[in-house]
Amino acid sequence: MKYVLVSGGVISGIGKGIIASSSGLLLKTTGLKVTAIKIDPYLNVDAGTLGPLEHGECFVLKDGGESDLDLGNYERYLNLNLHHENNITTGKIYKAVIERERKGDYIGRTVQVVPHITDAIQDWIQRVAKIPVDDSGEEPDVCIIELGGTVGDIESMPFVEALTQFRYKVGKGNLVNIHVSYVPVIHGEEKTKPTQHAIKQMRSAGLIPDLIACRCERPLDEVTTQKIARSCQVEFEQVVTVRDIETIYQVPLLLEEQGLLDRLREALMLDQLSVPPSMVHKGANLWQLWKKTVVSKPYLEPVTIALVGKYIALPDSYLSVIKALEHSAMRCDRKLNLVWIDAEHLEDASLQSDPTTYHRAWSQLTVASGCICPGGFGGRGVPGMVKAAKWARECKIPYLGICLGMQVAVIEAAQNLCGYKDATSEEFDAQAEHRVVIFMPEGSKEIMGGTMRLGTKQTHFQAGSEWSKLRALYGDETVMEERHRHRYEVNPDYIEELEKAGLNFIGKDETGKRMEVVELKDHPFFVGVQAHPEFTSRVLAPSPTYLGFIAASIGCLDQVIQDIRHQKKQTNGTANGAAESIHF
């Protein structure tokens, strides 16, 4: 097993996850099987109870694990299905060690950070690195490890010590450390001192930089690169520049141009590995398709999408939604123009308190080609989302509701089609007369972490739904599988009345009692899904749900569906809604 450790210095949030994912992709293009592990030094057991405005979105894994958003980057770049154990936190490690101590595994010994915590970290990495995570079902060849935060943080010290020991444990030629640093440009001058100090601190902690990836807003001058190499005691070739570029999907191309793959091949002695010719061929095809997909075409026509949400102050709160929209726009040869609208600005109260903001928000919504309402928790902003759903329904504008966005569409229909003006969700008003969305009976109101309906679940398309646009996007299959994260569901007591009013619940769970998909028949595209299909969208295989939404917003949905059906006939298999060889 080979390991690539990606650490960071100076400041956090400068792109370690993208560089880690890009390094993994380059290795995968050689035919190697790659997995990834993210280390988060916080004490939380997982990301499930973290606020989106503080930490960004919570990415849901196939097995229901609630993880850091960087695992989403790994899955999107590398086409993996990771597990909850691929996200290591301080909380998980200490919980595991304390449980062992209570069982008596350390009986008679004093349990300490060194060696017990550090050993637990190393054992976890070695065990999880061997778990198959791709469609081959085989043990990976390379594991990408990203250490969150910055080296020198108090909370990451046990992990730094563990990884220092781990380097010598796995032996020479089996681990490479890429250290990501920031090079600021002040008054036009590239400053190397922060990187010099970061590398000095890194070495004093025990880690050794094999490669230094310098983040900068522009390409570094050669003299700057030479200065960094000389000051940090590395060769000139060991310093790469990761400048700001048009799209993050071009980072692998940028790194490949600077010889990163050659450096990894040399340091990890990859030539000694035996890779089957079929995998080499598959990797080469992957690289050609990636370049074809991510290299921007000149003068692409834009598609304007309005995202009406609750957490727009931090775009990372909707990271997977943004990426799914980008994947679909790229597939349709369009440039995504995403307009952020705070749902509260669409409410009547905003008209009274801030008329300018109110009218600007409505102006942005009304000129958009499509409207998406993503997930969220709590009642703040929901009245504005309801108004957006009403506008999209009445004006025949493509609408996609995700999780809360689906529930919002149901609330809107209950208020304006069924006449229940006080219709709402139990989440917002537990005493309301018409609670068209209710708490799921199997949920817990006492324990918050890990108690939602999580992970991949099946949705069964109902008999008579052959007309459904969404079903067609999934290749006219009878079942679709997507990941979920929710505590509330549509109240089954109102289904009959809602369907009489025009809503069609075309998708339900295996019991037939839980509503999964709602769609309007006489509408260009009005779909609400309880699931989060953005979590399974990939750069080279966009989510069928999002692809349909974008295609409808452009006006080419019929062509997309026709191509999906044609591709399914050619492959004689299950369509994923976006065959790799088709561009619309």
For this structure, is 403 an active site residue? yes
Residue pair 150/8 in contact (Cβ under 8 Å)? The answer is: yes
Q: Which of 83, 116, 460, 532 is catalytic?
A: 532
Q: Which of 143, 371, 403, 418 is catalytic?
A: 403
What is the 3 state secondary structure string of 105-126? CCCCCCCCHHHHHHHHHHHHHH
Dihedral (C-alpha) 25, 287, 138, 19: value to the nearest 10 degrees?
0
Which residues are 302's β-sheet partners? Answer: 335
For this structure, is 532 an active site residue? yes
| Burial class of residue 423 in the structure, from the number of CB atoms within 10 Å of its CB (0-12 exposed, 13-18 middle, 19+ buried) | buried
Phi, psi of 421 (to 5 degrees): -65, -25
Q: Where are the beta strands (DSSP E) in 118-247?
A: 142-147, 175-182, 185-186, 189-190, 211-216, 239-243
Structure tokens at 372: 């998406």
Closest by CA to 369, choosing from 304, 322, 428, is 304
Residue pair 435/426 in contact (Cβ under 8 Å)? The answer is: yes
| Burial class of residue 143 in the structure, from the number of CB atoms within 10 Å of its CB (0-12 exposed, 13-18 middle, 19+ buried) | buried
Residue pair 487/437 in contact (Cβ under 8 Å)? The answer is: no
For residues 372 and 303, give the distance between their C-alpha atoms in angstroms, rounded to a whole number. 13
Q: Under 8 Å CB-to-CB from 20, ≥6 apart: which residues?
A: 4, 6, 36, 70, 73, 74, 144, 146, 178
Which amino acid is located at 305 in the chain?
Answer: I
Catalytic sites, residue numbers:
403, 532, 534
